[in-house]
Amino acid sequence: MTETSFYDLYNAGWSEDTNLNSGLKNSFKINLLEGIALEEESSGVAYEADTTVQKKPFFIKLARILAIIGTFILAIYFIPGIIANLKLSGSEADRLAKAAESANGRTLPGFDPTLSKINRLSVPSIGVDTDIEESTYENYETALKKGVWRVSDFGEPDVDGAPIILAAHRFGYLAWTNSFRHKSSFYNLPKVQVGDVVTVIWEQRQYTYGVYKTEKGEAITDYSADLILYTCETLSGPERIFVYAKLVS
């Protein structure tokens, strides 16, 4: 009896006749897509053994397994966050928001989306209502041409510490219109009195300050203030006009 291995027949890649025994003829037909069909004929008696291996169901099962694994991985990442959000009550959300607002050492006014997104200064008693310009010391004149400049390296409304210092020209530029000069310069700063209110809109929060002192001099004398406004008294002299205010709300 001659033995022919299945490996040899598989590698043949096409129909091959091999005598396995006298009077017995085996015909192997190999189809890589449909599987393997084996036909045997012996002494005029024919029978067919179908050992076809279906590959399509295997890939379907594999796809299902991968889908289950993918769903499980997504669940690991997202379900804890969903559960945490569901457990966060309204009071806890408010507490976290307040903690964030006071993180810089100062309790902040409520956020108001209807307020200007541009930081602004308002001094109602003298008609000032203008944007607050940001610039470094090297380019401060560019900011002053547009109106009020927040002196860099000093305070901001939402940070506890150094005072906010806002400076502006008193007489301004010839190119300014009278309307712009009235709203954006400190021409009338000497008219501000103790008790006047000054408001600052900063990152859509409104800060209210009360004036407690005004003075003339060549330098700031009170850095305990929360807000300081200043301008020149004359076109060329060294004397300045200072307004000091404390945060009210």
Over residues 178-191, the pLDDT tens digits come to 999 999 999 999 99
Share of residues in the chain with pLDDT > 70 (%): 64
Residue 230 carries which side chain, given as an amino acid letter? Answer: Y
Residue 9 carries which side chain, given as an amino acid letter? Answer: L
Average pLDDT, the chain: 75
Q: Determine the pLDDT at residue 166.
A: 96
| Residues whose CB falls within 8 Å of the CB of residue 127, separated by 6 or more in sequence, listed in order | 182, 183, 188
Residue environment code for 171-199, b if the CB has 16+ CB neighbours within 10 A, otherwise e: ebeeebeeeebbbbbbbebeebeeebebb
CA 108, CA 201: separation in Å to the nearest integer?
12
CA neighbor of 147 nearest in space, from 182, 196, 189: 182
Band (105; pLDDT cuts 50, 70, 90): low
What is the Cβ-side half-sphere exposure of residue 36, based on CA atoms within 13 angstroms? 13
Looking only at the bridges linking them, the beta strands covering 128-134 and 164-167 are unpaired
Per-residue pLDDT tens digits for 107-125: 889 999 999 999 999 999 9
Q: Where are the domains of the chain?
A: 6-50, 120-247
Ordered strands of the 35-42 beta sheet = 16-21, 24-31, 35-42, 45-50
* Alpha helix (H) residue ranges in 102-151: 140-144
Specify the CATH superfamily of domain 120-247.
Answer: Sortase (2.40.260.10)
Mean pLDDT, residues 25-29 taken together: 41
How much is the pTM?
0.59
- 90 pLDDT above the threshold of 70: no
